[in-house]
Amino acid sequence: MPQRTATVVGGGIGGLAAAIALHRKGWRVEVLERAPRFTEIGAGISLWPNALRALRALGLDDTVRTLGSIEATGGLRDRKGRWLSRTDNTELRRRYGQPLVVLHRADLLRALTEALPADGLRSGSAVSAVREEDGARPVVEHSAGESRSDLVIGADGLRSTVRRTLWPDAAEPRYAGYTAWRMVTEPLAEPPAEGAAIWGRGERFGYTALPDGRMYCFATASLPPGTAPTASEHAALRHRFASWPDPVPALLAAVPADAVLRHDLYALPPLPSFVRGRVALLGDAAHAMTPNLGQGACQALEDAVTLAHCLDGTPDTTAALRSYDLARRPRTQAITRRSARLGALGQLSWPPAALLRDTAARLTPTWATLRAMTPVLGWTAPGGER
Ligand code: FAD
């Protein structure tokens, strides 16, 4: 078979992972990224055992474990700081063969780009449209010209241009009802021994260790859509969470004032298909979900590995993409729904409902919580080992 070519639109976690997966199967790949550089700013990311297994298929799980931090324990606390449940990374590893790893997004992006030939990475290339012509290979129009290839992957995120061009009837992403802040502290002399998510009423705050003493923190609050940012998101956040249990105020005090990212959270209503001819959607472009399960990027990594597996050894690209769609759509859409349900629970603001929720969480044994995650975390790479 002559060397096949792929154009990947978007150089985020999903696009780069897809490029690596195809490159390892002998494809020539170009990645078009509109940003001037391949990087992500200012936040951490949790990668669960299913993502580590996908990274193993890409030859990168050891690298990512080295770059990340693996906390021994962590869990859920209530608004007064009491533990509702605790999870043990050893138990996670025993059950699923891999731990939960948290790392800085910039480090993950660096590891992904370093696994690709530099001449295929085209930053500063904004894609404006994708044309599908009868029987011919699809064409991607971008700021530096046009690219024609055997396969186009739309990995251009929540507001995907590829999706908008080729899936004109797809519904727009829907606001989840709450906004999220993310930030990384300066290195702390004594970082908290355990990470946690704290559930309040209509608000949540989470923190987890990064390597080198920094902490990755995130917070949510139920707000009307489009609520304008304040002059200082950092000051507003310190005010909002001032009375929260330790170590929340101290963590916020250790965040540089200009290092707070805020994004309203959206999820994509289910698409009827992730593929069209020789074009496939992947990652957030296909199934943007709320971050409540920490699975958006994990699912993008699974997509990448599955896509390359479906295409391997068959010259029939469109049939391979149909297999990819069948393998990925039901799973990612179910996880999207599950994440939305968890988010609705986490954001409960009516005090009796929040109390009931917290009581249920306290009474659920850890093994039951972990077992309920098996459909998500127990994924294995197609054709791969556990
Ligand atoms: P993106 O990261 O959105 O990448 C898309 C890329 O395409 C970008 O680089 C963009 O610049 C580029 N692009 C867009 N349009 C064009 C164009 N027209 N031309 C060229 N390039 C273009 N997931 C986890 O697994 N674990 C977590 O802990 C986690 N925490 C999260 C916390 C928050 C608050 C949020 C909002 C999300 C979180 N996620 C998490 C989800 C995760 O961030 C996303 O699912 C993941 O980044 C999606 O990757 P992607 O490559 O599909 O899309």
**pLDDT by position in tens, the chain (length 386):** 789 999 999 999 999 999 999 999 999 999 999 999 998 776 999 999 999 999 999 999 999 999 999 988 899 999 999 999 998 888 899 999 999 999 999 999 999 999 999 999 999 999 999 998 877 899 999 999 999 999 999 999 999 999 999 999 999 999 999 999 999 999 999 999 999 999 999 999 999 999 989 999 999 999 998 888 888 999 999 999 999 999 999 999 999 999 999 999 999 999 999 999 999 999 999 999 999 999 999 999 999 999 999 999 899 999 999 999 999 999 999 999 999 999 999 999 999 999 999 999 999 998 898 899 999 999 999 986 55
Residue nearest to atom 33 of ligand 1 (CA): 291
Question: What pLDDT does residue 33 have?
Answer: 98
Q: What is the pLDDT of residue 339?
A: 98
Quick one: CA torsion of 54, 179, 288, 132, rounded to 10 degrees? Answer: -130
Nearest CA to ligand 1 atom 29: 294
d(CA 255, CA 242): 14
Query: Which of 160, 284, 289, 338 is the pocket-test mutation for ligand 1 (most atoms within 8 Å of CB)?
Result: 284
pLDDT for 136: 84
Per DSSP (E only), the strands in 96-187 are 101-104, 121-123, 127-131, 139-142, 145-148, 151-154, 174-184
Maximal CA-CA distance, the chain: 64
Ligand 1 residue neighbourhood (C-beta within 6 Å): 9-15, 32-35, 45-46, 126-127, 155-157, 161, 180, 182, 218, 263, 265, 283-285, 291, 294-298, 300
Radius of gyration of the chain (CA): 21
List domains and CATH numbers for the chain: 5-173+267-377 (3.50.50.60)
For residue 93, what are its two tokens?
């590893």
Minimum CA distance residue for ligand 1 atom 35:
291
Q: Which of 7, 16, 32, 34 to mutate to test ligand 1, by most ligand atoms within 8 A of the CB atom?
A: 34
Q: By alpha-carbon position, which residue is closest to atom 41 of ligand 1?
A: 296
- Taking the centre of ligand 1 as the mean of its atom positions, its distance from the CA of residue 246, in whole angstroms, is 31
Q: Give the pLDDT confidence score for residue 385 in this predicted structure.
A: 53
Atom of ligand 1 nearest to the CA of 180: 34
Nearest by Cα to 328 from 190, 183, 153, 178: 153
pLDDT value, residue 41: 76
Q: Tell me which residue has its CA closest to atom 18 in ligand 1.
A: 127
Alpha-carbon torsion (5, 9, 12, 18), positive or negative: negative
Global confidence as pTM? 0.97
